[in-house]
Amino acid sequence: MLKVHGVHGSPFVRKVLIVLEMKGIPYEIVTQMPFTGDAKYKALNPLGKIPTLVDGELTLGDSKVICRYLESAYPNVAVYPAQVGDRAMADWYDDFASGAVADLAAGIFFQRYMRPRAFKQEPDEALISTIIEKKLPPLLDYLEGQLPETGYLFGHFTLADLTIVSPFINAGYAGYHVSADTWPKLAALIARVRDEPAVVTILDKEAKALGLG
């Protein structure tokens, strides 16, 4: 059976689990915490980051690469748009959201949620304020300009919508919510994606794993 090395709660692992859920592919999670420096895991993925996917002979790191592979290998349910240009845009949104946006939004989560629990350190609230007040707004303005008034970026729910929303689920755990007054389309997309059946399923498992009741 296909294996996902990682843990619930990572915005990148979450993307992969939701894609697997949408496609109805059976999988098992091999628990791998991030930031452990685990040498055995580094033999699978020398970057030491989660997730890593193992499908038979194939071992792949990086959520973008993994989701792309799953779409090609298991095309039964499409999680990317059909048009070439739209697929390229979906890749760009994935790169943008899993990169710059996730660094900031999940950075809030890292500071307020992970640091106290995993590292017994206080959150750096000055850094969090800089993220919320200065660094994140221009990126959110860009996303707001890209999003439709209703529905999804490419007609049906795709990885593009999921990848944009995933880091904000983590920021939400740390008490940051995208303002519906300032970024109404993005706030609405986050709510819409959270209501998708595959997302509900994975977020339920995640809530149990993180002890969020």
Ligand X SMILES: N[C@@H](CCC(=O)N[C@@H](CS)C(=O)NCC(=O)O)C(=O)O
Vertex 204: Cα angle to 173 and 75 (nearest 5): 110
Min. distance of Cβ 32 from ligand X in angstroms? 8
Write down the H helix ranges in 30-75. Answer: 39-44, 63-73
Min. distance of Cβ 122 from ligand X in angstroms? 20
| HSE, side-chain direction, 13 A CA sphere, residue 77 | 15
Min. distance of Cβ 113 from ligand X in angstroms? 11
Nearer to ligand X, 34 or 81 (CB): 34
CB 109 within 8 A of CB 172: no
Nearer to ligand X, 64 or 87 (CB): 64
User: DSSP assignment of 119-151, as one string?
Assistant: S-----HHHHHHIIIIIHHHHHHHHHHHS-SSS
Q: Helices 159-173 and 63-73 sit at what angle, rounded to 10 degrees? A: 140
Min. distance of Cβ 181 from ligand X in angstroms? 29
Q: Which residues make up the interface to ligand X (CB under 6 A)? A: 10-12, 34-35, 48-51, 62-64, 98
Nearer to ligand X, 174 or 187 (CB): 174
Min. distance of Cβ 139 from ligand X in angstroms? 17
In terms of Cβ atoms closer than 10 Å to its own Cβ (0-12, 13-18, 19+), residue 210 is middle
- Within 8 A by CB and 6+ apart from 199, the residues are 18, 162, 193
Nearer to ligand X, 51 or 81 (CB): 51
Nearer to ligand X, 35 or 148 (CB): 35
